[in-house]
Amino acid sequence: MMKDEEELVTEHFAGWASTYEEDIAKMVERDWGVKYEDFVKLIMEPCKLRLCMRILDAATGTGLISISIARMLSGNCKILGIDITDAMLDKAKANIRAESLGDAISLKKASAENIPSDDNTYDLVVCSLALHHMNVRRALREFVRVLKPGGRIVVADVCAPEGWRTLYGKVGVAIYRFLFMRKKESKAEAKSELYTRKEWEAMVAEFGGTESQSNEFFNKNNEWAPGVIITSWIQN
């Protein structure tokens, strides 16, 4: 992610931190027809959680995924949550403190494109609804680097409909972004990278992933609007 793009994303999420949890829950149910608590459970399933795991929660936001994992493991794990936005990390700290999970979860200000961890550190890397704001391949290379051989990657992200790859779709998306996403608060979304399910599956293969699974939810209000996909794989 270029510096100006990172600043856009940081500013976007700094202004969103106070209402993020309520807003994201409404969005997931409104657009993709899944209650947020059920969506989190769907992310947890392919994580194959077990006691004493070392886990990276990339772009942790307000810490909801880290907290869900730590609860499921009764605190018997070590999770590092990273994020580039101070306001999100402040909210995450408060949430972790309220759950008394400080022994299991630590936080650090850092980008998923430049993870401050050694190679072969984690059993699991998870990233929820954030990767489209980054250079996706650069972040995935970092996920692979810090993951132990045979470790697992689980990504939940906004997903492009296949129709976006048609000529009509490409023109329509370009016009929409130009006309309706020029406001300051929309610029971070306008620059986001969205991939189709087929493109996600091809990327997993490109990075050497095996035993991959994907679960896609289409936008229930508009077939041309983005859906969401949960993709998981083992990295050998």
Domain regions of the chain by residue span: 3-235
pLDDT of 25 > 50? The answer is yes
Over range 113-123, report the average pLDDT. Answer: 98
pLDDT at 173 (0 to 100):
77
Structure tokens at 149: 């051989």
CA dihedral 135, 222, 162, 206 (to 10 degrees): 30
Q: What is the mean pLDDT of the chain?
A: 91
Band of residue 120 on the pLDDT scale cut at 50, 70, 90: very high
pLDDT at 166 (0 to 100):
92
Over range 91-108, report the average pLDDT. Answer: 98
- Looking at per-residue confidence, does 157 or 179 come out higher? 157
10 φ/ψ sector (left φ>0, alpha ψ -120 to 50, else beta): alpha
**Element (DSSP H or E) covering residue 80:** strand 77-83
Over range 121-128, report the average pLDDT. Answer: 98
Q: At what angle do helices 86-98 and 3-16 cross, to 10 degrees?
A: 40
Tally DSSP H helices, then E strands, for the chain: 9, 7
pLDDT tens, residue by residue, 34-89:
999 999 999 999 999 999 999 999 999 999 999 999 999 999 999 999 999 999 99
pLDDT of 135 > 70? The answer is yes
pLDDT tens, residue by residue, 183-230:
544 444 555 789 999 999 999 999 999 999 999 999 999 988 999 999
pLDDT at 180 (0 to 100):
53
Quote the percentage of the chain above a pLDDT of 90: 79
Residues 6+ apart with CB under 8 A from 215: 42, 229, 230
Band of residue 153 on the pLDDT scale cut at 50, 70, 90: very high
- Looking at per-residue confidence, does 31 or 172 come out higher? 31
Over range 167-180, report the average pLDDT. Answer: 75
Q: Which CATH superfamily is domain 3-235 in?
A: Vaccinia Virus protein VP39 (3.40.50.150)
Band of residue 97 on the pLDDT scale cut at 50, 70, 90: very high
pLDDT at 186 (0 to 100):
46
pTM exceeding 0.85 = yes
pLDDT at 59 (0 to 100):
97
pLDDT of 20 > 80? The answer is yes
Q: Alpha-carbon distance 127 to 112, whole Å?
A: 9
pLDDT at 191 (0 to 100):
58
